[in-house]
């Protein structure tokens, strides 16, 4: 297979589309299961016995259909499937590694609306797949018209994985520094589960650690996942904290691999603030490996300043939690994340986990004995202007003269006092724009002018 094979299906986080439309039709998803089976089977250790795959899903109505189709594809190629049910994405990563499965799969579109869905993969180590393996799966799917079915006695079977959620909660609860019934005692937490797959696990764990938990958006219908709730709607958790009088707000996305916090005044924090608080605390404890935090190019420059003043260092990866994880693995660093709410605590899991992150942040609050409104003062953000522009195509930016020209002009104007980032989303029809600088009014004006040019060229 050519290294230059262009991606057609996989984005930055698996395959994502409207459920029932290409490539998330039952027929294609069966073939995807078969293609994935073949790609993994040729790599498995010959000493492994009958291969098993862990398959989980979020709460979307289309999850039943896609789960059944993918499992059928795996079964047809001789793989047994253990169904974890509605469970957070990082739980599948944990279970795959813990149960020594051949690989893990999650049917989820994360923070997207209910009508979307997606398929994410984890390798036997609980890590997301390499680009090369994703491309191999895609190549097998697209190049092969049909797959044969295993001999009758070799057809795999599917069955429920008993106590999947309980195993996951037990694992986090007994992680480093957390096996304590009173770890979070005295805290009242407003919890927004986004009507997603963390609707059971997060509340159960936080309660077991001594917190009083007031649950919201924890009754999934299959159609209400992320519906004006969850961490992509920060105003909701802000409102819930103010109305409930909670000490802190915690908000997940649909598959609970992200988390958003809100202080007791009803003001949401972003990922940069949480990373600053955590990195500085871990440095105090001597727990931040290499005194290094791994963030992305989207993080505010104030993060570098805050960590640097304490004697630490910030490394920047490309956008996406997988890019952060890859850089963390290369340097053997143990904490990193994204401004959007993905955080990776590698001492627990090799992937982002909203519940692990929530417990770690809440532990810091308890240890410090201060509210989040005080803790967040460690970071004074530089002004940023961000926009997501809906688009109808994704041509190279250099093919859009007015847009690329405006970007060059802004870059020159900012000089060393700021920066501009313009990139296509890997999962949605969006062009994301970020300008950072010392003059808030100036960068707002610049971003509006750039957005106007983008809309004229490729806007919906």
355 neighbors 336 (Cβ within 8 angstroms): no
Alpha carbon of 378 to those of 251, 278, 289, 381, 414: distances in Å?
22, 10, 20, 10, 25
User: How far is it, in rounded angstroms, from Cα 3 to Cα 187?
Assistant: 52
* Catalytic residue selected from 62, 76, 110, 323: 110
Location of structure tokens 């308890």 = 366
- In this structure, the strands spanning 14-18 and 116-122 are antiparallel
197: annotated active-site residue:
no
Q: How many CB atoms lie within 10 A of CB 237?
A: 28
Contacting residues for 376 by C-beta, under 8 A, at least 6 apart: 263, 269, 273, 277
The CA-CA-CA angle for residues 379, 385, 388, to 5°, reads: 120
User: How far is it, in rounded angstroms, from Cα 49 to Cα 10?
Assistant: 30
Contacting residues for 245 by C-beta, under 8 A, at least 6 apart: 188
Q: Determine which helix (DSSP H) or strand (DSSP E) holds 364, and give its type and residue range.
A: helix 354-368
Kindly list the catalytic residues.
Answer: 110
């Amino acid at each position: 297979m050519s290294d230059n094979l262009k991606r057609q299906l996989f984005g930055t986080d698996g395959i994502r589309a409207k459920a029932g439309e290409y490539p998330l039709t039952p027929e294609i998803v069966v073939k995807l299961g078969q293609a994935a089976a073949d790609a993994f089977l040729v790599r498995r250790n010959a000493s492994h016995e009958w291969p098993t795959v862990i398959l989980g899903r979020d709460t979307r109505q289309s999850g039943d259909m896609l789960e059944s189709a993918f499992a059928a594809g795996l079964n047809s190629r001789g793989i047994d499937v253990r169904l974890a049910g509605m469970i957070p994405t990082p739980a599948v990563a944990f279970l795959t590694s813990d149960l020594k499965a051949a690989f893990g799969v999650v049917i989820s579109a994360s923070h997207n609306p209910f009508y979307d869905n997606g398929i994410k993969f984890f390798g036997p180590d609980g890590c997301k797949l390499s680009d090369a393996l994703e491309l191999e799966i895609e190549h097998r799917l697209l190049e092969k018209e049909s797959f044969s079915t295993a001999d009758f006695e070799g057809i795999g079977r599917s069955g429920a994985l008993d106590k999947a959620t309980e195993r996951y909660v037990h694992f986090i609860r007994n992680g480093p520094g957390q096996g304590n019934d009173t770890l979070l005692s005295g805290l009242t937490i407003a919890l927004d589960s986004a009507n997603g797959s963390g609707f059971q696990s997060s509340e159960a764990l936080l309660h077991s650690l001594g917190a009083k938990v007031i649950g919201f958006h924890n009754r999934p219908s299959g159609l209400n996942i992320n519906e004006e709730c969850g961490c992509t709607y920060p105003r909701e958790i802000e409102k819930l904290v103010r109305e409930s009088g909670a000490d802190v707000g915690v908000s997940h996305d649909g598959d609970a691999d992200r988390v958003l916090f809100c202080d007791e005044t009803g003001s949401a924090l972003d990922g940069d603030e949480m990373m600053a608080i955590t990195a500085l605390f871990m440095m105090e404890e001597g727990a931040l490996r290499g005194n290094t935090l791994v963030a992305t190019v989207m993080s505010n420059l104030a993060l570098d300043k805050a960590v640097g003043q304490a004697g630490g260092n910030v490394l920047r990866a490309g956008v996406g939690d997988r890019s952060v994880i890859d850089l963390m693995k290369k340097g053997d660093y143990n904490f990193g994340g994204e401004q959007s709410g993905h955080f990776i605590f590698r001492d627990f899991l090799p992937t982002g986990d909203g519940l692990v992150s929530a417990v770690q942040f809440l532990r810091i609050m308890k240890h410090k004995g201060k509210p989040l409104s005080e803790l967040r003062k460690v970071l004074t953000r530089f002004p940023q202007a961000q926009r997501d522009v809906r688009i109808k195509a994704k041509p190279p930016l250099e093919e859009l003269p007015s847009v690329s020209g405006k970007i060059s002009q802004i870059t020159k104007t900012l000089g060393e006092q700021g920066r501009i980032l313009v990139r296509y989303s890997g999962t949605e029809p969006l062009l994301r724009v970020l300008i950072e600088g010392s003059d808030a009014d100036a960068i707002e004006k610049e971003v509006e002018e750039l957005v106007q040019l983008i809309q004229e060229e490729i806007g919906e």
